[in-house]
């Protein structure tokens, strides 16, 4: 065992992978990062002959090296099974000269399933490894997809409870229906009167409440997180970039060692950070193309070196990216600050106090791996329509942000490197926005009428995740003010 994790805000904090997974967030509010990023120890040719599960083991054993082979393989086997509607787990589809990595074949038809199918098993294994007797309470804020994927992953998992907060008017109708119909005696879903950043800040405040922590401990509970701030969420996301490269190699689309680009639609920065980690493990990635929607705080950061959340919050048709505080960016900031907890803490304090910070010229020079751009709502819709009309392939609104930005990247750079686009959600999750983009005449149809029409147009069977919520009863109808979040958690736990 050699890889430890440190807090981005306190050099003295040093824990094993399983301890980092259990804690979720460091006590000082920092995020856990690996002391070093290990290199892949299998060749690209060897990886190209492996299944998704096998690739997952080869990547995760390096990052989670205090898990035994048996423990890790057991977690992987339980995660990537018949919950996914394709044996490939993450198929690649070639369309319009790019390779769409479909990350939405899990139980809740969004990319969050890729990590949240395994996190409950990593977490319960970590609890046993560290002799934790308390019940683990998963506390999560969602901009739409994490919530349902976490609920599905943790529902009725012994020794756990899960509380999910979401912005009441900031998710799609399908996303909300998926969450509020969730079964499981250990699940609780709460709408807040605010946006995702309010929910995320509220959750971080609950994590940092030392008095509440004592009360929880006395009652036999402890918090952990299913958000991408948890390293147990981030590590499984590295896997699918390695797998995508391996599939391209196996299919003869690239030669071993040939570089590819990766385009990732992102709000919270976790998904593209996983691609950055994959590159640093030795995966031949050329550019990491960061695609934003009209909440373009990341695009502005990569362009200017200043992160500034002091702006209007825009509700878009890609709600999972409607974020102004990109939590996972802190892990990158820590790295380009020379792994300096002191420098990173200074910048994060500035963000908290003034809503912005600016990195140095030296730090900005280290961002050459990245290209940032954004898509407007009109561009997003036009891309969906164009791709459908050109080749019959239907993508969701978030994937359309990525495809739009990829087109801008090509126009800007004339780079013809083979490119993987992270397709982060099924179009069925955002049916209304997708169908109205294809043709405004669909605006008058009901939500489930649109689902059936989409199936007809895309020639793709309606996923189980949608079929099961057609008639499912609402089981969660709590709505609260941001200031009441702590009380709602206490109420649910009976403390």
Active-site residues: which are they? 112
Asked whether 293 and 322 are in contact (CB, 8 A), the reply is yes
Neighbours of 341 (CB within 10 A): 21
Q: What are phi and psi of 87, to 5 degrees?
A: -65, -30
**Beta-bridge partners for 33:** 6
Nearest of 469, 484, 488 to residue 183 by alpha carbon: 469
Q: Whole-angstrom Cα distance, residue 228 to residue 327? A: 8
The two tokens of residue 164 are: 């999910």
Q: What are phi and psi of 478, to 5 degrees?
A: -75, 130
Q: Whole-angstrom Cα distance, residue 73 to residue 67? A: 9
Q: Which residues contact 368 (CB under 8 A, 6 or more apart)?
A: none
Nearest of 131, 157, 160 to residue 225 by alpha carbon: 160
First to last CA, the chain: 38
Q: Is 53 exposed, middle or buried (0-12, 13-18, 19+ CB in 10 A)?
A: middle
Place of tokens 């019940």: 135
The two tokens of residue 90 are: 């993450």
**Beta-bridge partners for 203:** none
Q: Whole-angstrom Cα distance, residue 261 to residue 418? A: 6
Report DSSP letters for 321-335, one per residue.
G--SS-TTHHHHHHH
Pairing of strands 92-95, 98-102: antiparallel
Question: CA quadruple 329, 245, 90, 126: dihedral positive or negative?
Answer: negative
Nearest of 53, 135, 126, 35 to residue 89 by alpha carbon: 53
Q: Whole-angstrom Cα distance, residue 454 to residue 447? A: 11
Asked whether 88 and 103 are in contact (CB, 8 A), the reply is no
Nearest of 116, 39, 425, 49 to residue 267 by alpha carbon: 425
Q: Whole-angstrom Cα distance, residue 155 to residue 136? A: 13
Report DSSP letters for 390-414, one per residue.
HHS----HHHHHHHHHHHHHHHHH-
Q: Whole-angstrom Cα distance, residue 272 to residue 291? A: 9
């Amino acid at each position: 065992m050699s890889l430890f994790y440190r807090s981005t805000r306190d050099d003295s904090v040093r824990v094993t992978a399983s301890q980092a997974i259990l804690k979720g967030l460091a006590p000082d509010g920092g995020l856990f990062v690996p002391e070093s990023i290990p290199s892949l120890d299998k060749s690209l040719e060897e990886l190209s002959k492996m299944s998704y599960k096998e690739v997952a083991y080869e990547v995760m054993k390096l990052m989670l090296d205090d898990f035994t082979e048996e423990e890790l393989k057991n977690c992987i086997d339980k995660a990537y099974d018949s919950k996914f509607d394709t044996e490939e787990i993450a198929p690649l589809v070639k369309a319009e000269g790019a390779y769409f990595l479909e990350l939405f074949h899990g139980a809740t038809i969004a990319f969050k399933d890729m990590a949240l199918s395994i996190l409950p098993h990593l977490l319960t294994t970590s609890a046993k490894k560290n002799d934790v007797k308390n019940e683990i309470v998963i506390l999560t804020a969602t901009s739409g997809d994490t919530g349902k994927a976490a609920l599905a992953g943790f529902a009725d998992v012994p020794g756990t409870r899960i509380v999910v907060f979401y912005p009441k008017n900031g998710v799609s109708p399908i996303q909300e229906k998926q969450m509020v119909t969730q079964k499981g005696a250990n699940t609780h879903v709460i709408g807040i009167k605010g946006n995702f950043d309010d929910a995320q800040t509220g959750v971080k405040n609950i994590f940092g409440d030392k008095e509440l922590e004592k009360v929880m401990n006395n009652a036999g509970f402890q918090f952990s997180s299913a958000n991408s701030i948890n390293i147990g969420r981030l590590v499984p996301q590295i896997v699918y970039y390695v797998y995508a490269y391996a599939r391209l190699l196996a299919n003869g689309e690239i030669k071993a060692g040939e570089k590819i680009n990766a385009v990732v639609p992102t709000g919270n920065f976790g998904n593209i950070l996983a691609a950055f980690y994959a590159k640093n493990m030795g995966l031949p990635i050329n550019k990491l193309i960061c695609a934003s929607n009209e909440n373009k705080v990341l695009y502005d950061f990569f362009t200017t070196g200043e992160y500034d959340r002091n702006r209007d919050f825009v509700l878009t048709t890609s709600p999972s990216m409607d974020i102004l505080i990109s939590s996972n960016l802190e892990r990158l900031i820590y790295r380009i600050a020379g792994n300096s907890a002191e420098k990173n803490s200074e910048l994060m304090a500035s963000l908290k106090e003034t809503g912005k910070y600016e990195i140095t010229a030296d730090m900005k020079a280290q961002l050459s791996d990245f290209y940032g751009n954004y898509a407007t709502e009109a561009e997003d819709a036009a891309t969906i329509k164009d791709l459908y009309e050109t080749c019959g392939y239907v993508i969701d609104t978030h994937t359309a942000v990525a495809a739009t930005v990829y087109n801008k990247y090509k126009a800007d750079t004339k780079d013809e490197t083979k490119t993987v686009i992270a397709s982060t959600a099924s179009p069925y999750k955002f049916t209304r926005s997708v169908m109205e983009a294809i043709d405004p005449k669909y605006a008058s149809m009901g939500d489930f009428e649109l689902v059936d029409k989409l199936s007809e147009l895309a020639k793709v069977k309606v996923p189980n995740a949608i079929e099961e919520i057609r008639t499912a009863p609402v089981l969660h109808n709590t709505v609260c003010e941001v200031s009441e979040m702590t009380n709602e958690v206490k109420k649910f736990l009976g403390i």
